[in-house]
Structure 1
Amino acid sequence: MRVLAIDDQKLVLIPLALRLEALGYSVFTETSAKKGIEVYNSFKPDLVIVDIMMPGVSGMEVVKHIRNLKKESTPIMVLSGNTDAETIVKGFDLGINDYMKKPLSLLEVCARVKRLIGTPVKSNQQIINKGIIIQKRCVGVVIPCYNEEKRLASKAFINFITKNSGYRLCFVNDGSTDKTAEILINLRKGREDYITVYTSKKNAGKAEAVRKGMLHMANQLDLDYIGFLDADLSTGLNDFDHLVSVIENSKYKVVSGSRITRMGANIKKESSRRFISLSINFLIRKILSLDFKDTQCGAKIFHKDVIKVSFGDKFITKWIFDVEIFRRITLHFGLNKAKKLFYEQPLKRWIHASGSKLSAKDSIKIIGQLFKVAWYYRSRKIKKVESISFAKRKESYFLMPSLKNIKA
C-alpha cells in the first residue's frame, strides 16, 4: 500500500513517514504541492496526505487535480493547522475523505490511515515512541557552545527531539579547545534531519555564535520560529517549548524567558549574582524604556520576520547582546509598537549551572557595556543600522572562511 505525503515542512514529514513505513506502508514524501502533483501522476498512491497551507501552489490545488482533473477517487486526507471552517467545508465539497487539525497525535494519524485504506499485510505492530505529536509549527533552536565538554546535556537534547516533532537544533561550536566538537559530531550522527552542527575556528564569543546560528536557521524555509538556548540547559527544554506555545498562540514577535522568583517556580541563583543582576536590570530598563524584569535570560524565541532586524548586524558588546536586540527592535518599529511585540514569560525552572564562564568581575564590566549600548544606539544611528541590505549581510555571512558545516 502506497502513501503520498505532501507538506512544506520537512520536520512534519519525517516522523510521519517513519511511522507509516514501520507499519508496512510504502511512503513517498514531497515538500512542494506542485512537485507532489507530478509525483502523484507517476507514483499512483493508495492514499494522499496533504497540507492545505503551502507557499505557491496550495494543498487545495492537489485536491482539485485529483478530483476535478484526473477524476479519480484516491482517498485524500488533509493534515493542516488551518482551522477555518470555510476552508474545511470547501475541502469536503471538493471530495476529501478526512480533515485533521494540527497539532495531533501521530497515533491518531495512523489510525485514520488504517481506516481509509486498511492495514498492510506485513505490518510491524511493535511501534516505539508512541507519544509523538505532529505540530502545526516548526521551530529552530540555536545552542552556542564553547568548551561544553563537561556541561553539554546530550541525552536531554536527544530525548527531546525524539518525543517532540517540529524541532531542528543548531549547535554552534564557537572555537572550543576541548572535546566539544567530537561530542557534537556524535550527537548529530544519525539525526542529521534534526541536528545541525557549525564550528568556528576561533572563539568569537556567545553573541556572535548566536548571531551566526540565527542567520543560518533563518534561511531554513520550513521554520516558523527561531530561538536560542544555553547549552547547559539552565532553562529546560520543556520550559522553552512553553515559550514557543506562547508566541505561537499570540501576536508577539519576541517571547523571552524570565527568571523572576515567584510561587511554584524553581529559580536558583547565587546571592552575589542576584544583587548584581538587580543593579544591571535597573540600568537596562532605563536604557530601553521597557519594564522588563529580566532581559538577560538565555532562552528566547523569535518570529521569523524579526530575525533580520535583530541579528542582521554584528553586536557591539560581548555579553549584553540581548539588550542590543531589544534596542534594535524598538528603533525599527518605534517604542509604542515594540512594546506590543515583546512578552516576558516567567519560567517554572531555572538553575544556575556550575562552570559559568561569566565571573562576578565580568558582571561589573557589563555596566560599562550598557553605557556603550546607550551611546551607540542613539536614534540617529538607526539609519546606519538599516542601510545595509539583508542580502549583502547574508552573502558575507556565508562567505566567512571561519565557519564550516560539520557533516558527521
Structure 2
Amino acid sequence: MKILAIDDQRIVLLYLKKCLVQLGYEVETTTNGHQGVSMLTSFKPDLVIVDINIPSVSGLLIIKYIRENYSVNVPILVLSGTNDEKVKQEAFNFGADGFLQKPVSLREISVRIKQLLKNPTCIKSHKTLPQEQYIQPNVVGIVIPCYNEEERLKLETFREFLHKNLGYHLCFVNDGSSDGTLDLLNSFKKEFEHSVIVLDQKTNVGKAEAVRLGALSLLENTDIEYIGFLDADLSTDFKDLKKLQDELKRSNNLICSGSRIERMGAQISRKGSRAIISRIVNRLIRLTVKMPFQDTQCGAKIMKRDVVNVAFKQPFYTKWLFDVEIFKRLSKEYGHKYVVKLISEVPLDKWTHMEGSKLSFRDSLSILGQIASIHLKYDVLPLGYITKNKSSIKSESVGERAANDLVEQIQ
C-alpha cells in the first residue's frame, strides 16, 4: 500500500519513511506542498500524511484540494506540532480523517495508519518497531564543545536520547583534544549519520569559539528552528533542556537560559568555592554590564535561529564570558530594554558539578578582568563587533576572520 507524506521538516520525513517502509508500505515524501499535490496523480497514494505548517502552501489547503479535486475517499492523517484547537477543527472540517500532535511515537502513527487503511493484512505489526521513539514538534540543534572528554563523555546517555527523540541534531565540536575524544565522536557519528555532526578543530580554540563555530554550522541546516548548547559532561541533563525548549516555544522569548538557583525540590549540586566565585561574578556582571540575571554562566541555553547570526557572527572577546557577550550583542542590535524582556531564565530541576572541569581557579580570577573588558568593548568604545545592519549575515571565512582580527589589533 502507498503512503504520501508531506512535511517541511526533512528529518521528520526521513524517520517516518524508514519506519513505514520497514512495516511494508511504499512511501514517497516531499517538503514542498505544491509538489505534494502534483504527486497525487502520479503516485496515487492510498493514504496521505500532511503537516499543517508548510511554507509553500498550507496543509489545510492541501486537505481541501484532495477532497475537492482528487478523492473523497483517500484517508488523510494530519501530523502537526500545533495545539491550536481551531486549527484542528478546521482540518477536520476540510476533510481530515485523523490528527496526531507532535511529539508522537512512531508506534502510534503506525497504529493510526493501519486503522485508517482498515487493517491491511500485508502490513507488519507496529510491535516490530522500537519502543518510545518520538517525532518531535520542532527540529533542534545542540552544540556540545569537547576538550579532552574521553573519560567524561556520556555517549550512552546521548545515544539513548537520540534513539527516543527524533528531530534533534547534535553538533560535537572537538576542540583540539589530545586524548581519544575525536575517535569516540567519529565512531558515535557513524551510528547517527543523520543527526550527529562532528567538527574537528586541530588546535584548542576555547569553549567560546567552539560553541560559536558549532552554532554557525547548525545554522546551515534550514530545518533547524532552535539552536542551543550543553556541556559535554551533561551537568545539565536533557530533561531540563526540554524544559528550556518548551518555554521558548510557548513564549515570545529570543533565548531561554538555564539558572542554577537553589530552591525547594531542585537538585543543585555546586562545590563551595565555585559557588562563591559564581555569586561574585554574577554580582559584578549585574553591576558592571547591566545584565540583570541571577545566573549568566550556566552552560545550558537555547535560542531561536533568527538571533544566531547576531549572537555568533563574530568571534568573542573573552574566553569564558561569551554568554554575557551574547546579551550585549543582542542589546546593541535590538535595544537593551527589549532584550531584557525577551531573554528568560528558567530554573533547572537538576544540576550536578562534574569533576574534571576545564575552568581552573586561576581562570576564575581572570574573569574579573574579562568583565571589565566586556564593559570597555561594548559600552565605552564607539566601535565594536556588532553591525547595525539587520539584514541576513553569512558566517565569515577563516581568512575574513583573520583579517578582522588584524584590524582589531591595529585599532
Do Structure 1 and Structure 2 share a fold, with TM-score over 0.5? yes
Unmatched segments (≥5 aa) in structure 1: 402-408
Distance 1:190 1:207 in 2: 28
Q: Is the 8 A contact 1:254 1:300 kept in 2?
A: yes
**Alpha-carbon displacement from aligned partner over 1:243-272 (angstroms, at most 9, x marks no partner):** 111111211111111112222222222211
Same amino acid, percent of matched pairs: 44
- 1:295 equivalent to 2:296? Answer yes
- 1:189 equivalent to 2:186? Answer no
Unmatched segments (≥5 aa) in structure 2: 403-411
- 1:318 equivalent to 2:328? Answer no
Instruction: Return 118-127 or 241-250, whichever deviates more.
Output: 118-127
SS in 2 for 1:143: strand
Distance 1:251 1:245 in 2: 12
Q: Is the 8 A contact 1:212 1:397 kept in 2?
A: no
**Alpha-carbon displacement from aligned partner over 1:146-172 (angstroms, at most 9, x marks no partner):** 111111111100100111222111111
Matched letter for residue 119 of structure 1: P
**Alpha-carbon displacement from aligned partner over 1:271-298 (angstroms, at most 9, x marks no partner):** 1112211111111111332331110011
- 1:108 equivalent to 2:108? Answer yes
Alignment size in residue pairs: 401
SS in 2 for 1:197: strand
Matched letter for residue 347 of structure 1: L
Q: Is the 8 A contact 1:265 1:349 kept in 2?
A: yes
Taking structure 1 as the reference length, the TM-score comes to: 0.91
Matches within 5 A, 1:26-105: 26-71=26-71, 73-105=73-105
**Structure 1 residues 234 and 193, CA gap change in structure 2 (3 angstroms):** same
Distance 1:240 1:164 in 2: 13
Q: Where does residue 363 of structure 2 map in the other structure? A: 362
Q: Where does residue 330 of structure 1 map in the other structure? A: 331
Q: Is the 8 A contact 1:331 1:382 kept in 2?
A: no
Taking structure 2 as the reference length, the TM-score comes to: 0.90
- 1:12 equivalent to 2:12? Answer yes
- 1:246 equivalent to 2:275? Answer no
- 1:163 equivalent to 2:147? Answer no
**Structure 1 residues 84 and 226, CA gap change in structure 2 (3 angstroms):** same
Q: Is the 8 A contact 1:23 1:120 kept in 2?
A: no
SS in 2 for 1:223: coil
Q: Where does residue 140 of structure 2 map in the other structure? A: 139
Distance 1:391 1:398 in 2: 20
Q: Is the 8 A contact 2:21 2:27 kept in 1?
A: yes
Distance 1:54 1:322 in 2: 34
Distance 1:69 1:397 in 2: 53
* Residue 71 (structure 1) shift: 4.5
Matches within 5 A, 1:365-404: 365-378=366-379, 381=382, 385-387=386-388, 393-396=394-397
Instruction: Return 286-295 or 337-346, whichever deviates more.
Output: 286-295
Q: Is the 8 A contact 2:289 2:371 kept in 1?
A: no
SS in 2 for 1:48: strand
Instruction: Return 252-261 or 369-378, whichever deviates more.
Output: 252-261
Distance 1:272 1:388 in 2: 43
**Alpha-carbon displacement from aligned partner over 1:73-102 (angstroms, at most 9, x marks no partner):** 321111122344443344333322222333
Distance 1:5 1:400 in 2: 42
**Alpha-carbon displacement from aligned partner over 1:108-162 (angstroms, at most 9, x marks no partner):** 3222111111234241454343223332211110111111111111110010011
Matched letter for residue 379 of structure 2: R
Distance 1:87 1:255 in 2: 27
Matched letter for residue 63 of structure 1: I
Distance 1:239 1:124 in 2: 34
Q: Where does residue 178 of structure 2 map in the other structure? A: 177
SS in 2 for 1:277: helix
**Alpha-carbon displacement from aligned partner over 1:305-352 (angstroms, at most 9, x marks no partner):** 111211111101111101101111122222221121111111121111
* Residue 14 (structure 1) shift: 3.2
Distance 2:339 2:46 in 1: 50
**Alpha-carbon displacement from aligned partner over 1:352-405 (angstroms, at most 9, x marks no partner):** 11111111011001110110000000166477511578756425269989xxxx
SS in 2 for 1:386: coil
- 1:348 equivalent to 2:349? Answer yes
Matched letter for residue 334 of structure 2: F
Distance 2:95 2:151 in 1: 56
Distance 1:314 1:232 in 2: 24
**Structure 1 residues 35 and 328, CA gap change in structure 2 (3 angstroms):** same
SS in 2 for 1:302: strand
Q: Provide the aligned C-alpha RMSD in A.
A: 2.3
**Structure 1 residues 352 and 125, CA gap change in structure 2 (3 angstroms):** same
Matched letter for residue 177 of structure 1: S
* Residue 196 (structure 1) shift: 1.1
